Amino acid sequence: MDKNVDLNLYSTFIKVYELKNISKAAESLYVSQPSISHNIKELENQLGIKLFYRNSKGVEPTPEAKKLYYYVSNAFNTIRTGEQILTDFSDLKTGTIKIGVPTHIGTCFLTQYIENFNRMYPGIKFEIVNLSTSNMIYMLETRNLDLIVDSLPIDSNRFKLDVCNLVTLDNCFVASKKYFGYLQKNIKIEDLDKLPFIAPYKISSARKELDSYLKKQGVKIKSIIDCWTTEMMLDFVKRGMGVGYFIKVFAENYACNDEFISFDFDNSLPKVQVCIAYISEFQTYASKEFINYLKENVNNEETKN
């Protein structure tokens, strides 16, 4: 095998892998289809493996190609990050910050800081991804995200992450007054096992902590719907299908009005520790500034409160 493979061949490989089509890859790279086919064949010869099978829709990557793509795309993303670090303007007139954050933490906490940062530096673009923690960690590892804002735990098996606590948020239960108005009258924690619940998904950290807390109280909730997103939980609660479990700030901003009631048993429910996670050596100038902005301003607001 030739160890000095032309990087252009890998660039072609990445594009064909992602588009699963020779002609689309050619259009994207502004080259001819025969040129794409030649590059793929040349790379296969140099590596001594087959990379793609043809099918009616285009091409399908082989198992070997899937393994190769993981490492090659990671390397190219690292190169792009390096180029961006070198070309970013120190006055923050341009740049892109790629953030992974769950929707409920984004809407009740992060958006205000992005808004303020954007007002100071309007040339900075933000790309926001809302996925599971494990998927966001993978994107962070492969340089497709600059940072993650999420609740603990956040950890990587491949890299040492810088993790910094930002804020502690309270949780509460929310119900529709129309269907559960009687809950306003001194509800006790042992009453929860009599209610239908719209709950966070079973494997989420919020659900695990809630179940652990209730178990200590001798209570087991009956969830009729398990949701990945806070927005869907709130919609089901509005429809009177059950009691939801939310970050209190989210509930105060979006749910606690004349239609809803909330209760938290003297604020004894599990709390949400929101943190920021990133890989320091792969930060662009813009993302570094935003990380520092979060650390300074969130901590200052917490001190005032």
Same structural domain, 159 and 140: yes
Residue 201 belongs to some domain of the structure: yes
How far apart CA 256 and CA 252 sit, in angstroms, is 5
Same structural domain, 113 and 178: no
Residue 1 belongs to some domain of the structure: no
Residue type, 245: Y
Peptide bond preceding 153: is omega within 30 degrees of 0, i.e. cis? yes
pLDDT at residue 127, rounded to an integer: 94
Same structural domain, 255 and 287: no
Same structural domain, 266 and 209: yes
Residue 2 belongs to some domain of the structure: no
Q: Which of 24, 44, 75 is the last residue of a domain?
A: 75
pLDDT at residue 90, rounded to an integer: 58
Residue 43 belongs to some domain of the structure: yes
Same structural domain, 255 and 279: no
The three-state secondary structure class of 182 is helix
How far apart CA 149 and CA 131 sit, in angstroms, is 11
pTM above 0.75, yes or no: no
Same structural domain, 163 and 199: no
The three-state secondary structure class of 76 is helix
Same structural domain, 154 and 290: yes
Residue type, 177: K
CATH number, domain with residue 283: 3.40.190.10
Structure tokens at 70: 């993981």
pLDDT at residue 301, rounded to an integer: 52
Q: Which of 46, 75, 104 is the last residue of a domain?
A: 75
Q: Which of 54, 75, 96 is the last residue of a domain?
A: 75
Neighbours of 174 (CB within 10 A): 27
Structure tokens at 144: 């497709």
Residue of 232, 202, 292 whose CA lies nearest to 104: 232
Handedness of CA 128, 132, 135, 137 (dihedral sign): positive
Residue 158 belongs to some domain of the structure: yes
Length of the chain equals 305
CATH number, domain with residue 33: 1.10.10.10
Residue 46 belongs to some domain of the structure: yes
According to DSSP, the β-strands at 222-227 and 196-200 are parallel
Same structural domain, 161 and 298: yes
Same structural domain, 291 and 161: yes
Which residue range(s) make up the domain with 62? 7-75
How far apart CA 87 and CA 96 sit, in angstroms, is 12
Residue 82 belongs to some domain of the structure: no
pLDDT at residue 303, rounded to an integer: 39
Residue type, 36: I
Q: What is the pLDDT along the chain (305 residues), one digit of tens a residue?
A: 445 667 888 889 999 999 999 999 888 888 898 999 999 999 999 888 999 998 888 899 999 999 999 888 888 887 777 776 665 655 677 788 999 998 888 888 899 999 999 999 998 999 999 888 888 988 998 889 999 999 877 777 777 888 999 999 999 999 888 888 777 667 888 888 888 999 888 877 788 888 888 888 888 888 899 988 888 888 899 888 989 999 888 877 765 567 888 888 888 888 889 999 999 888 888 899 999 999 999 865 543 44
Contacts of 273 (CB under 8 A, 6+ apart): 151, 152, 165, 168
Same structural domain, 265 and 198: yes
Same structural domain, 116 and 192: no
DSSP state of 181: G
Residue 83 belongs to some domain of the structure: no
Same structural domain, 161 and 277: yes
How far apart CA 198 and CA 175 sit, in angstroms, is 10
Number of domains in the chain: 3
